[in-house]
Structure 1
Amino acid sequence: MKKRLIHPIVFKNKAVLAVTALLSLNISAQVFSGFTYRGNDKIYTDNPLKDDEFYSPVLQGCYPDPSITRKGNDYYLVNSSFSMFPGVPIFQSKDLVNWKQIGHVLDRPSQLKVEKSGVSEGIYAPDIKYNPYNDTFYMVTTQIASGIGNMIVKTKDPTKGWSEVQKLNFDGIDPSIFFDDNGKAYIIHNDAPPKGTEQYSGHRVIKIWDYDLEKDQVVAGTDKIIVNGGVDLSQKPIWIEGPHLYKKRGKYYLMCAEGGTGGNHSEVIFVSDSPKGPFIPAGNNPILTQRYFPKDRKDKVDWAGHADLVETPEGDYYGVFLAIRPNEKNRVNTGRETFILPVDWSGTYPVFQNGLVPIKPALKMLKGVKNQTGQTGFFPNGNFTFSDALTNSDLDKRWIAMRGPRENFITITKKGLKINSFATNIKAKAPISALFHRQQHASFEAAVALDFTPKSEKELAGITCYQNEKFNYVFGLTKKGNDYYLVLERTEKGNSIIVAHEKIGLSKTMQLKVVAEGDDYTFNYSLDGKTFKNLGGKVSGDILSTDIAGGFTGSLIGLYSTLSNDMNW
């Protein structure tokens, strides 16, 4: 990690408050305050909830690859986080409708080593499971680009932190863990076929290993391929992955994603009398997909798959899975989101109810459950508003950094959140001094107050709309000569252009606002706190979509500051 221009962190009572001091008096301070994010998606205004309904996705924005488990009456859900820090957000619920974020599984640099990773590297496809035989929770995942690879952490209480990382001795990706009712444990994962046997691009296999709960390691020599290629190898299925193993009525069920993470994504199911197979695919596969429907369908949900199942105390089943909701130009700026559907397992195989028809925005409420989303700490959904004065030392858990701890560059003050700038900018594959909130709607506005007086051309602070280090917008205040300028920069494939710049008379505090209406984004500012002026006109959000930028994340809205501004005009 590069040397930074700040002192080490001092923590008080494990709070987020970080006490830092600038080493150079020549560096300007900037304070962000009064952040507001407001969603305005037509799908919610056109589909108001009835008293007995709730919205799915339950987690809007970039919350992909969900995995779920239950202990007693408490459900726990985790998501992929790639190079976001802290990593693997974890949510708790008592009813599958109302969710609270209780923290992150990987919240220490010793657990998460993504300092030099691209945004879509880092943590892939976590799996969380509770083992009743030793009263312990396990989270197993793949940490890409760190040399760690497949890994596991555990805890007795997910609200009180997780263990250090145990590296697992096998290759491949997407590991999950299964606890049999005889006390035995197994790891299942995606891998390449044996050397020399690959038949086509995307040919993968599912393997299983015995797992030693005492040593927290797979048992050498116990690995076995239990699925080769997918449901029907003769059809050349691609990317069998995301496996989960379940047991019901004495049978073992293996559920996997198949078809890749795009338009052909699906969920398939196999059954066996033994955890090590042979596994026979169901005749009615897939059990979940959105690939068969017209591309121009209303309220489009697509790419559904990568699912996990959970049984309620009453014996009912629900499945969480990822899917996307593209905007009017089929852009995927919000990324992969966490959806939920009831699962019918009255027959031999589980089937996602209404998972093979176009997915609707609202579901029937679970019996006896009251919708409390957005209230008393429960995560919001629909067209919600999130407001944060940025003065609370206990920073909201939805704020994340990139490639390193938030506490390395923030100071919470009574006036707002102070960012102590790094000597890296938004284009670096390195920790950057930016605090991010996920874009959770196709149409939204996000605004923040900024108190900042740059002292040189190298200093810049403002808002970024960020898909990754090579695809982003920066809307910020800097200095050129003796004058102050607001500048809007667009970076595509790593190449930056200045969309617009404007000399301004600097006031003590300015307001910055980004507004999106589907693919159209506008960047606006106010010097009096009342009247906003646009800079740069309407610009396309195309570079904030995964179909243009690549990768696996959704767009982020960042409060950004740097000592390495490289804009030229």
Structure 2
Amino acid sequence: MMKKMILKSWLTSLAASCLLLTATGQKNAPVFSKVVYEGNDQVYNDYPLKEGEFYNPILQGCYPDPAVTRKGDDYYMVVSSFAMFPGVPIFHSKDLVNWTQVGHVLDRVSQLDLHDTGISEGVYAPGITYNEYNDTFYMITTAFAGGLGNIIVKTKDPWKGWGEPIKLDFQGIDPCIFFDDDGKAYVVHNDAPEKAKERYNGHRVIKIWEYDVDKDQVIAGTDHIIIDGGVDIAKKPIWIEAPHLYKKGEKYYLMSAEGGTGGWHSEVVFISDSPKGPYVPAPSNPILTQRHFPKDRPNMVDWAGHADIIKGPNDQYYGVFLAVRPNKSGRVNTGRETFILPVDWSGIFPVFENGLVPLEPKLKMPEGVVNETHSGKYFQNGNFTIIEDFTSDKLHPRWIGLRGPREAFIEITRKGLKINPFDAHIRELKPTSTLFHRQQHDVFTFTTSMIYQPDSKNDLAGITCLQNEGSNYVFGVTKIDGEYVLLLERNWWPGRQGEKFSKIVAMAKIDVKKPIRLQVAAEGDDYQFNYSTDGKTFKNLGGIVSGDILSTNVAGGFTGTLIGLYATSNNASLPEN
């Protein structure tokens, strides 16, 4: 099995190399020699860490829908990736504080083909579970791309890659697999009720199936509904989803999100004597939510829910979950992030400690754990600076593509990172030649140096800030009427329906004989796009522009802002004649 996985991975790499060879030597390919990302949020200046503390969220930026599992002293966590490629980031920790990105679970096109997928489609709500009976890790998810639907992949070692997807024979979303201590397995997931039984908009159910571990498939005819609507269907709860099944003692617990992914989001729990139910809701539901507090509270964290629980160091339970940190204008540009809280499970039901009061930016670390998130060895949080000079032959997994592999368009050269442009622009539902980094702070700068001489108006390269294919800014160099120009374009196409609003905010003639430094600087809802031709002094282009279209709660969808190094040979960012 592992030999087949390695062979397929090698073939995929070979195919990507062939694409590179085809593009190598291409004219009009920009070279980016350095990127500096610097975050400087006031909350972290106001709340410096003391000994024995760490920051929450643990994964800043668009890393939503976390799920976690454990093998011995090793913890593995996965999050949603939608149409980003590779798919399903996976992280490792020994202590639930210091996390390292292992890579991605779905890192080959043979596993995940996102070619014409909207950015908020693709891969949703992965679950990860270790099965001690066959020493195997399982990642199960819903993939709205390539006709996949619900799939499962397996590995003996998450550091060494995952197998090809196995398509599962059921509908619905948000599946999770559970292995009982008798060796039996079950899959739970969100689904729609039968049409004749749908009571209201948002009415959903949780189903359970028996799972055949040998055949890796749900067992036909074993499915039935274990939760109808939510905790109290008389109150018309919406979007019961993201279920996780646990066993503690002789009891089974089903934990799910309820209330939708926005301001009414919450986590609820049920109990049963059998994995197949019936399940009774806890009297103290919800066990996690931020929905009851004033919207003008300082350092607001909101939308908390979609959680998973794991026994951590010193046998203390912890729960990971998604939440958002809106800026002062109420925008959600950093997207849905991964948070963590201790869980008190000393009673019958688990309760997130301080999960029903306004969440704080810091937590006390588990006893005996040292915070090394600023050592450079682990995923950073708080305020930090990332410098990428593109001298390594392997990019950090924080860098991602959209709808296709990075390796199809990037090339490491002596001068830096070359992006060989695709014949696709940022507004198309196609793989784009764009290398993305997530926005991780409310206040940040992202600066890069670029060498580039376009041949015509069809060529453009620079920076894009993108929430989705219909909501983005393009800040790049092109050639119009024989002159090199730098332009800033705002694209706003709500839901990719109705009238498009694409506007060239500003343009300036520019000297391309020397490297150009491009910068996006944001402070909350205010974004500025700056440039320098002397390597020292920055000039602004277009003034202060609104980050509204880069916000999840304005542009819609499920992602946060992505900042990209962008090139195209099919430039659509042009002034009207």
The corresponding residue for 2:437 is 437
Q: Which amino acid is the alignment partner of residue 175 of structure 1? A: P
Classify 1:186/1:443 alpha carbon distance in 2 versus 1 (closer, same or farther; 3 Å): same
1:417-476 CA distance string (max 9 Å, x none): 000000000000010000000000011000000000111110000000000100000000
The corresponding residue for 1:552 is 558
State the distance in 2 between where 1:168 and 1:541 align: 40
State the distance in 1 between where 2:83 and 2:278 align: 37
SS of 1:314's equivalent? helix
Normalising by structure 1, we get a TM-score of: 0.96
Q: What aligned pairs does 1:349-428 form with structure 2 within 5 A after superposition?
A: 349-428=349-428
Classify 1:116/1:15 alpha carbon distance in 2 versus 1 (closer, same or farther; 3 Å): closer
Q: Are 2:520 and 1:514 aligned?
A: yes
The corresponding residue for 2:547 is 541
The corresponding residue for 1:60 is 60
State the distance in 1 between where 2:562 and 2:341 align: 27
SS of 2:407's equivalent? helix
Q: Which amino acid is the alignment partner of residue 480 of structure 1? A: I
State the distance in 2 between where 1:72 and 1:505 align: 58
State the distance in 2 between where 1:441 and 1:227 align: 38
Q: What aligned pairs does 1:20-99 form with structure 2 within 5 A after superposition?
A: 20-21=20-21, 27-99=27-99
The corresponding residue for 1:318 is 318
Q: Are 2:467 and 1:467 aligned?
A: yes
1:492-513 CA distance string (max 9 Å, x none): 0143100000012223211000
CA RMSD for the aligned pairs? Answer: 1.7
Q: How many residues align?
A: 561
1:373-392 CA distance string (max 9 Å, x none): 03242000001101100121
The corresponding residue for 1:104 is 104
SS of 1:529's equivalent? coil
State the distance in 2 between where 1:102 and 1:23 align: 29
Q: Which amino acid is the alignment partner of residue 44 of structure 2? A: Y
SS of 1:433's equivalent? strand
Post-superposition shift, 1:24? Answer: 9.5
Classify 1:550/1:284 alpha carbon distance in 2 versus 1 (closer, same or farther; 3 Å): same
Query: Which structure 1 segments of 5+ residues have no match?
Result: 1-8
Q: Which amino acid is the alignment partner of residue 529 of structure 1? A: G
Does the CA contact (< 8 Å) of 2:112 and 2:145 recur in 1?
no
The corresponding residue for 2:167 is 167
Post-superposition shift, 1:10? Answer: 9.1
1:307-329 CA distance string (max 9 Å, x none): 00001253210000000000000
Does the CA contact (< 8 Å) of 2:17 and 2:408 recur in 1?
no
Classify 1:251/1:164 alpha carbon distance in 2 versus 1 (closer, same or farther; 3 Å): same
The corresponding residue for 1:249 is 249
Q: Which amino acid is the alignment partner of residue 200 of structure 1? A: Y
SS of 1:196's equivalent? helix
State the distance in 2 between where 1:211 and 1:261 align: 28
Does the CA contact (< 8 Å) of 1:424 and 1:432 recur in 2?
yes
Bigger proportion of residues as helix: 2
The corresponding residue for 1:505 is 511
State the distance in 2 between where 1:455 and 1:130 align: 53
The corresponding residue for 2:301 is 301
SS of 2:227's equivalent? strand
Q: Which amino acid is the alignment partner of residue 487 of structure 1? A: L
1:105-156 CA distance string (max 9 Å, x none): 0000011111100000000000000000000000000001331100000000
Q: Are 2:574 and 1:568 aligned?
A: yes
State the distance in 2 between where 1:18 and 1:440 align: 34
The corresponding residue for 2:530 is 524
Post-superposition shift, 1:264? Answer: 0.2
Normalising by structure 2, we get a TM-score of: 0.95
1:210-242 CA distance string (max 9 Å, x none): 000000000000001000000001000000000
State the distance in 1 between where 2:150 and 2:256 align: 18
Does the CA contact (< 8 Å) of 1:15 and 1:393 recur in 2?
no
Q: Which amino acid is the alignment partner of residue 542 of structure 2? A: G
The corresponding residue for 1:156 is 156
Q: Which amino acid is the alignment partner of residue 161 of structure 2? A: G
Post-superposition shift, 1:26? Answer: 7.3
Q: Which amino acid is the alignment partner of residue 336 of structure 1? A: R
State the distance in 1 between where 2:536 and 2:419 align: 25
The corresponding residue for 2:6 is none
SS of 1:43's equivalent? helix
Q: Which amino acid is the alignment partner of residue 218 of structure 1? A: V
State the distance in 1 between where 2:374 and 2:542 align: 34
SS of 2:571's equivalent? coil
Classify 1:187/1:11 alpha carbon distance in 2 versus 1 (closer, same or farther; 3 Å): closer
1:502-554 CA distance string (max 9 Å, x none): 01222321100000000000000000100000000000000000111100000
The corresponding residue for 1:183 is 183
Post-superposition shift, 1:478? Answer: 0.5
